[in-house]
């Protein structure tokens, strides 16, 4: 059996003409944000990639078909659909074999992007080591994907629903570089400062491109995690978010949520607890990441 990959017209043209392309995930649409904010954000993210000189390729599996680049109509369907699988490395091939529809997490989007020859990807936040992982063993497959798959991901750092020091330890063990753009502290998603130094930091997008090119020259496997702080005017201070997050995590445990449901459940509850303020910040940081990813894709080609 051979895999058929369906490219959108604009991504196919971009590939032919060797133009910069930015991969985008779809789990954020199906499991990361409520409707219609999810659809609006997905459209704005694509527009931001274009404004910054690259072509967007949102990735998903639709009825068993790996799609690289979605139409607006498909994005709208995903944004409103229930029962979409949340795909990671473990079940990506299952969805393809059994004609299922699934959105791609960071791990699955990296796999799809690499198959499509795309090396830059923008998201909001990655999965990582959850708080309490010493009991739950909840560590996202996203981390292991960085060790394997050469796709470089621009994110706003790790969300404080995660244990950030443990997440950094696992990334270090796996040999995954974490480089923050423009500041020495690792950002913490809704907040610019996690209180923890980023293992690496560089002032400009072009410097990150040079780092990636140096890794390529050394035949290094795997991807680089790029931390991009949320714009100042959109940030929610960490002290405020920490209280909300602690409440959401306690409720999540009490409700007996486990496995794949944990991250979507927490994200949804945090939107409710902040009266939508976290959602506004989430949108802004994704757009900011889309812009940087497009600039990085341009810098890697020129």
- Omega within 30 of 0 (cis) for the link into 213: no
Closest-approach residue to Mn ion (CB): 138
CB-based contact 68:116 (threshold 8 Å): yes
Tell me the β-bridge partners of 202: 181
CA distance 253 to 8: 41
Among 15, 152, 159, 238, binds ligand PSU (CB under 6 A): 159
Q: Which residue has the tokens 């791609």?
A: 104
Q: How many CB atoms lie within 10 A of CB 35?
A: 14
Q: How far is the CB of 140 from Mn ion (least distance, A)?
A: 5
Q: Which of residues 8-47 bind ligand PSU (CB under 6 A)?
A: 25, 27-28, 32
Nearer to ligand PSU among residue 192 and residue 260 (C-beta): 260
The answer to the question of residue 229 lying near ligand PSU (CB under 6 A) is: no
Token pair listed for 182: 């423009």
Q: Which of 15, 39, 86, 159 is catalytic?
A: 159
Q: Does the annotation count 159 as an active-site position?
A: yes
Nearer to Mn ion among residue 120 and residue 252 (C-beta): 252
CB-based contact 46:8 (threshold 8 Å): no
Among 20, 69, 125, 222, binds ligand PSU (CB under 6 A): 125
Binding mask 111-150 for Mn ion (x = CB under 5 A): ---------------------------x------------
Q: Which of 25, 46, 145, 235 is catalytic?
A: 25
Token pair listed for 191: 């907040």
Tell me the β-bridge partners of 86: 103
CA distance 76 to 73: 5
Residues that bind ligand PSU (CB under 6 A): 25, 27-28, 32, 105-106, 124-127, 140-142, 159, 260, 263, 267
Residues at the interface with Mn ion (CB under 5 A): 138
């Amino acid at each position: 059996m051979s895999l058929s990959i369906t490219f959108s017209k604009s991504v196919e043209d971009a590939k032919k003409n060797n133009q910069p392309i930015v991969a985008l995930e779809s789990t954020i649409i199906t499991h990361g944000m409520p409707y219609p904010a999810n659809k609006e954000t997905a459209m704005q993210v694509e527009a931001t990639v274009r404004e910054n000189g690259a072509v967007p390729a949102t990735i998903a599996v639709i009825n068993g078909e790996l799609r690289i680049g979605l139409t607006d109509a498909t994005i709208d369907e995903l944004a409103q659909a229930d029962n979409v699988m949340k795909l990671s490395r473990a079940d990506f091939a299952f969805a393809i074999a059994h004609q299922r529809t699934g959105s791609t997490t960071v791990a699955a989007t990296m796999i799809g992007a690499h198959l499509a020859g795309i090396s830059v990807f923008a998201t909001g936040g990655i999965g990582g080591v959850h708080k309490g992982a010493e009991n739950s063993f909840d560590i996202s497959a996203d981390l292991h994907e960085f060790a394997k798959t050469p796709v470089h991901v621009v994110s706003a750092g790790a969300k404080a629903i995660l244990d950030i020091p443990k997440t950094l330890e696992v990334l270090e063990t796996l040999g995954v570089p974490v480089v923050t753009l423009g500041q020495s502290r690792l950002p913490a998603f809704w907040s610019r400062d996690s209180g923890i130094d980023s293992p690496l930091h560089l002032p400009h997008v072009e410097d990150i491109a040079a780092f990636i090119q140096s890794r390529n020259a050394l035949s290094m496997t795997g991807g680089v995690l790029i931390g991009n702080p949320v714009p100042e005017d959109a940030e929610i201070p960490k002290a405020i978010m920490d209280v909300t997050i602690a409440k959401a995590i306690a409720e999540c445990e009490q409700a007996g949520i486990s496995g794949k449901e944990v991250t979507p459940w927490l994200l949804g509850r945090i939107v409710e607890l902040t009266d939508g303020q976290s959602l506004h910040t989430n949108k802004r940081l994704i757009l900011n990441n889309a812009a940087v990813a497009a600039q990085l894709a341009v810098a890697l080609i020129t």
